[in-house]
A = this chain, B = another copy of it.
Amino acid sequence: MASVSLDTINPKVLKCEYAVRGEIVTLAQALQEELKSKPGSHSFDEILYCNIGNPQSLGQQPITFFREVLALCDHPSILDKSQTRSLFSADAIKRARQILDQIPGRATGAYSHSQGIKGLRDTIAAGIEARDGFPADPNDIFLTDGASPAVHLMMQLLIRSEKDGILCPIPQYPLYSASIALRGGTLVPYYLDEAAGWGLEVSELKKQWADAKSKGITPRALVVINPGNPTGQVLAENNQREIVDFCKKEGLVLLADEVYQENVYVPEKKFHSFKKVARSMGYGEKDISVVSFQSVSKGYYGECGKRGGYMEVTGFGPEIREQIYKLASVNLCSNISGQILSSLVMSPPKVGDESYESFSAEKDGILSSLARRAKTLEDAFNTLEGVTCNKAEGAMYLFPCISLPEKAIKAAEAVKTTPDNFYCRRLLNATGIVFVPGSGFRQAPGTWHCRCTILPQEDKIPAVVSRLTEFHRSFMEEFRE
């Protein structure tokens, strides 16, 4: 065997952690195998994966129109058959033809331009324009296999050493900490204010920026996740303006994780893209660098398995754009089905299209159900002893704070784990419900949280609530001093 050991591999790999697929999930997979091989071996009969924003794994159905178009693009030779007209909607057939016409040689099996098929980028840019009311350039779009590779690409571009800092919210989505660790950079934390509904205070940004500078770290970029993950808050436009001004003043690249742009559940909040906010302040290409990440995995579509997404890259000079293009080209291109789907989510059926009504019914059904589930779970958490939970204004998660008894904290120490991990492990073993411990996202020192998705189907929510409530009651009893 080759001389490969933990001592001889890249230490940055060792340092990297990715909690949403970490220890708890491995334990859950083992339990699932046990349930399969020995039914009745546990007090629950299924594992409920609330660890990850993966809607279709919990029963959410794909949007019919999108899947019709994908199927037709995968097998275009049926487009001219009469039976196809009775199996597929007329506008799906029409859209598939349009898309095929945009692909050089109609070759859905060919590598595309490394930024993605030009015609699809035109559609996406038009979708962004319609959303924002400001121009978008198809040459600014880089289609990617989900949003993750786009984030890695930007980190790879910006980070030279541990002296380069990336400002990240705490709590954050662990893709950021993992990607920064893999590139050997420094995560500069800024804390969201839990007491103010996970508010993002610019005074906190300034403080952490100055603190990093004083340690010899050069802040290069600011990550903002809006709507928030794992925190679920939706930023107010006014707050976004302050953030834009801060980035402009300090020369920071604004990395805007906007993958939950369709997931807003409260009428008083609305999604605004950071590029729109910057443009509405009169800032153009030369004033600020903004990268917006979007994905087909979230929204009402939840097409995680398709690995589609894009980044819109603005405010970089041509010589840097060339480097970004080169990095994209090293993997040749993203998958074409994901590219097609990215164009579809940015340009869904419109009033008058045959599919419009059924499409709208599917979309509204999913989003209104998510809003109800978010509220029910939030209320449930807030009835638990020692638990407080902010509202999920958007995204797909709740991030309740749990005041754990001293005795539970000691019990966790005794088995060499963190208290939140201890809690989540107990919950899983008792109920089959998978949460992610707050440690995986980082949290204010001395506080303990867990992240729970709002994605179990509505008919399962009562069982989640009752199992969770019962578990929590008995856990608190067990560790009461």
What is the interface of chain A, defined by CB distance below 8 A to chain B? 1-6, 8-11, 13-14, 16-18, 21, 29, 52, 54-59, 62, 64, 67-68, 70-72, 74-75, 77-78, 81, 83-84, 86-87, 104-105, 107-114, 145-146, 148-149, 152, 156-160, 175, 178-179, 182-183, 220-221, 247, 251-254, 285-289, 297, 302-307, 315-317, 319-320, 323, 326-327, 329-338
Contact = CB atoms under 8 A, between A and B. Distances in A.
Given A4-B316, A305-B336, A334-B307, A64 B77 contact: yes
Of the listed residues A3, A16, A21, A303, the one surrounded by the most CB atoms of chain B closer than 10 A to its CB is A21
Contact of A306 (B18, B52, B109, B326): B109
Contacts of A5: 317, 319-320
A13 to B, nearest CB: 6
A18 B335 contact: no
A74 B71 contact: yes
Contacts of A67: 74-75, 77
Given A64-B77, A72-B71, A175 B4 contact: no
Contacts of A107: 56-57, 59, 305
Given A52-B111, A109-B305, A6 B335 contact: no
B109 A1 contact: no
22 contacts: A1-B289, A2-B289, A2-B316, A4-B158, A8-B160, A9-B323, A16-B327, A17-B326, A18-B326, A52-B332, A54-B111, A56-B108, A56-B109, A68-B75, A71-B74, A109-B306, A112-B305, A145-B335, A148-B332, A156-B182, A306-B336, A335-B338
Contacts of A157: 4, 9-10, 13
A327 B178 CA distance: 9
B149 A1 contact: no
Contacts of A14: 323
Given A4-B253, A323-B9, A331-B146, A110 B305 contact: yes
Contacts of A329: 18, 21
Contacts of A110: 54-57, 304-305
Given A2-B251, A253-B4, A114 B56 contact: no
Nearest to A4: B320
Given A87-B84, A148-B331, A1 B285 contact: yes
